[in-house]
Chains A and B, each alone.
Chain A
Amino acid sequence: MTAPSAGQLATAWAVFQGLLVEALPFLLIGVAIASLARAWDPRGRWLQRLPTGGVPGALSGALLGFALPACECGNVPVARRLLAAGAPLATAFGFLFAAPVLNPIVLLATWAAFPDRPWLLLLRPLGSLLIALAVTALLLLLPEGELLAPELLAERRLVQPLGQVGLLERRSGLVGGAGNLPAPTPFRRPALAELLDHGSREFLELAALLVLGSAVAALLQTLIPRDLFLTLGQAPTLSVLSLMLLALVVSVCSSVDAFLALGFAGQVTPGALLAFLLLGPVIDLKSLSLYGRILRPRALAVTLVAVSLAVLLIGQWLNLALL
């Protein structure tokens, strides 16, 4: 690859602005939902009544997507809020991984883009549910302490019943712990000022990550010819892999990726098309940086590998069944 020309840099700059300006409103919506949830039910009592077991928990989380429609940028703050409020891990992960597809807006968009492919309308939500279940089950094998980002873990400990966490883990300042947590006792309704402050900080921290993710995505997609991904379009396995890479790089929101896929649907295998629509909403360069606020690097790596494998298997299966 030669050094990028001025035209390419200018183009990448514009693509970057497009990605960022489009994603920021959705991020704001997500943070707003999370803040409202915090004001309404700061102790997360309602959340703790959700099923805790692996499969029912993940299912309930996945179905939350119908209640809180957000694409993948908006659902990171919401999932983080769920976890901080003490929701069962399975529920929060189910939501994080499945809600970007299992919500009315995305399903409508998929239907609008592919009215002639009813199997896609069925397999997209089904596949994403399967992936969410599988990845959640895998992540639950790790202990909570190795799973969640340290800051989030500390927030979560504060609302968990003492039976589940020891005082040492809780770091409430009385025993042990660095005491680096400010003192908002979660057992009162947070004041407006505190809500505002908390929400703004959350938004700004996620926005900074979004800037980085969008920059990488914009540069890569301007410098790498898209045909590189599509020329592999007819080989059953390679096509699935190359469209997965494309989904990773392009980083468009799940509410519109179906329309983007429409542009090349004719050139690729059905399995690759499904893989593109399954992987993009869960993992792309833009949202990967946001996940760092929820998961530790190791858990993030597990997620990345597990989701990719699951998508590859589903895409490959579809190709075997249809081709």
Chain B
Amino acid sequence: MLATWGVVLLQAWASGRLHLLLQPDFHGLVLAAGLLLLLLALAGLRWPSGAGRRRPGSAVAVLLGTAALMLALPPRPSLSTLAANRGAADPGGDGLTFLLPPEQRTLTDWVRLLRQQPDPQLWQGEPVRVSGFVLTQPDEAPSLARMMVRCCLADATPISLPVRWPATAPLPPADRWLAVDGVMGVERHRGGDRSIVLARQVRPIPEPARPLEP
């Protein structure tokens, strides 16, 4: 039983699933815990306790069932479902992102920048090259988003950039990962001006190996 859970943790670590579940700081901890569980299982074989007490059946069933499911069914969260449930994150950051050339700013950098310097006139016309997943919203056009994670998926919160999609193509479906090339523009929104990405080229990309932003 210990060995099974050791394998579950190690498999999550080795298969890269952890990138979808946890912030990288915690990955070493999961690896260590997996190894320790395997060691404990081996030690239990080497030095069996004579007692041979039975384990409670319900706990065994819950643990074995969960372990089997976790090995068989990798996590496939719908990030936009997750995001729809949660308010926007404050990306924090040091405020030095304006030093980066505009084409090199990631989606996170842009969101930080717009939060620190919300005046849309400042950024009008700057080139934008970002990638993220499509986040659909009830009353607006879909935006391009990333998930910020401090610890695990349970605390993931979305950050997003509004996008004016090219009129020639249909609106992209939720959760699709896209790379967007365009320029920053200004649009009227709820009585004020806001920055919006005017997309020129939109290209589907595979889901990145590390879909979560630390």
Contacts and interface: CB of A to CB of B under 8 A. Distances in A.
Given A15-B153, A203-B2, A222 B59 contact: no
- Give me the 9 closest cross-chain CB pairs, A-B, nearest first: A18-B153, A14-B75, A14-B77, A259-B150, A197-B49, A256-B151, A25-B33, A18-B152, A208-B59
B9 A21 contact: yes
* Most chain A CB neighbours (cut-off 10 Å) among B47, B49, B59: B49
B155 A259 contact: yes
Interface string A91-112: 0000000000000000000000
A224 B85 CA distance: 7
B53 A13 contact: no
Given A193-B48, A252-B151, 12 more contacts: A5-B81, A8-B78, A10-B78, A20-B66, A22-B21, A22-B151, A182-B53, A196-B40, A196-B44, A208-B63, A211-B63, A255-B151
Contacts of B76: 10, 13-14
Interface residues of A, number: 58
Contacts, number: 169
A212 B43 contact: no
A253 interface: yes
Interface in B28-59: 29-30, 32-33, 36-37, 40, 43-44, 47-51, 53, 55-56, 58-59
Contacts of A263: 87, 89-90, 148, 155, 157
A194 interface: yes
Contacts of B184: none
Contacts of A7: 78, 81
Contacts of B90: 262-263, 265-266
11 contacts: A8-B81, A21-B30, A25-B26, A25-B29, A192-B43, A196-B49, A200-B44, A225-B86, A250-B154, A259-B155, A262-B150
Given A226-B87, A264-B87, A211 B66 contact: yes
Contact of A252 (B20, B32, B49, B152): B152
B108 to A, nearest CB: 14
Interface string B125-161: 0000000000000000000000010111111010000
A28 to B, nearest CB: 5
B47 A212 contact: no
B21 A14 contact: yes
Interface string A188-225: 00001110110111011101100110000110011011
Contacts of B20: 14
Interface string A258-272: 011011111100000
B41 to A, nearest CB: 8
Given A24-B5, A225-B84, A251-B154, A13 B75 contact: yes
Contact of B82 (A15, A32, A207): A15
Contacts of B37: 28
A11 interface: yes
B12 interface: yes
Interface in B158-213: none
Nearest to A205: B59
Nearest to B33: A25
Contacts of B87: 226-227, 230, 263-264, 267
Interface residues of B, number: 57
Nearest to B29: A25
B34 to A, nearest CB: 9
A4 to B, nearest CB: 10
B66 to A, nearest CB: 5
A60 interface: no
A24 B155 CA distance: 17
Contacts of A199: 40
B81 A11 contact: yes
B107 interface: no
Given A13-B75, A15-B153, A25 B81 contact: no
Interface in B2-26: 2, 5, 9, 12, 17-18, 20-22, 26
A262 B86 CA distance: 13
A19 interface: yes
A17 interface: yes
* Most chain B CB neighbours (cut-off 10 Å) among A8, A182, A265: A8
B92 interface: yes
Nearest to B47: A193
Nearest to A249: B154
A205 B85 contact: no
A17 B90 CA distance: 25
A263 B157 CA distance: 8
